[in-house]
Amino acid sequence: MSGQWQEQVSLKPYNTFGIDVKARYFTQAHNDADVRDALAEAARQQVPVLVIGGGSNLLLTTDVQALVLRMASSGLRILADDGERVIVEAEAGEPWHPFVQWSLAQGLAGLENLSLIPGTVGAAPMQNIGAYGVEIKDVFVSLTALDRQTGELCEFDLEQCQFGYRDSLFKRHLGRWLILRVRFALSRVLQAHLDYGPVRQRLSEQGITAPTAQDVSNAICSIRREKLPDPAELGNAGSFFKNPVVPAALAERIRQQHPGLVAYPQADGQVKLAAGWLIEQAGWKGYREGDAGVHRLQALVLVNYGQASGKQLHQLAQKIQADILERFGVELEMEPNLY
């Protein structure tokens, strides 16, 4: 047994739903050597490995009969700066929102719309996280990952990551690559994205007509705090369902019955629907079964009021999926990874 491995560790502090399940073994990796050591020891003992970051995209439904390897590496650095375009690098274990705030403190724009998203830098490309009209792929340069099959370090550029809506090569081949550090192209000149959601309205209310990147970040943080519960106070994993992309004909059929449908036409002719709107129309907003519920202000967020199990939350999610399929003919896909 590795001296750094702990046994029967509660994972409640390591997942934002606050689900109290146990890991058979648990360790943290602060650098590349820690990662390799943990994987080698797990292979020697024939113990499976579950890699986690901030635990903000994870629904744990049972005790984890594996080594839980938490990425805890730290480090933020500027790699290149031509006076306008700046390449920054962040280690996988860096918490996402503090990284965004660090970039803003350097006078860099590009990440402001992604403020206050939970999780870590290493997990961000897995999901191609996005908010308010901006996704990781819009500022991504490259990343370094460890191939768990060969033990080699691999570099991935934008095209190789195969980013899609809340999707990537790494999510489609879960467990193959372990992301170690990520690089982004930011700018000293703000190109504001203000047309998605109430961001422009919030800035206008504050009397800001020429916003800085920090102004945009502040506005988005205030909007998110009003709409989304703080995981430190109420267990959740943020948006629980993806916004479904459906054929235009289906969207039109729904619109005929529900003129208020929230929908966004896509370049390929399909239509992205607001999952939260569908769930709210179906009457689930504020619904509660024991300690598992749907947030009272945001129907897209499932919450743990204290003692809910992962299985209870999963069962609630499945009920919502079945209801939305029956009502609207739309299949909702869960965002969090299920274990």
Mind telling me the catalytic residues? 166, 239, 335
Q: Report the candidate in 133, 316, 299 with the shortest Cα–Cα distance to residue 228.
A: 299
Output the CA angle 169-171-172, nearest 5 degrees: 65
Sheet holding 245-246, edge to edge: 245-246, 271-273, 263-265
Three-class SS state of 182: strand
> Cβ distance 107 to 101 under 8 Å?
no
Q: Report the candidate in 310, 298, 299 with the shortest Cα–Cα distance to residue 337.
A: 310
In whole angstroms, what is the distance from residue 111 CA to residue 251 CA?
Answer: 31
Structure tokens at 315: 């069962």
> Cβ distance 285 to 240 under 8 Å?
no
Give one word for 53, left, alpha or beta, with left for phi > 0 and alpha for psi -120 to 50. alpha
Q: Cα 326 from chain centroid?
A: 28
The per-residue DSSP string of 313-330 comes to: HHHHHHHHHHHHHHHHS-
In whole angstroms, what is the distance from residue 145 CA to residue 175 CA?
Answer: 11
Q: Which residues is 209 bridged to in the sheet?
A: none
Q: Up-side HSE of residue 240: CA atoms within 13 Å toward CB?
A: 28
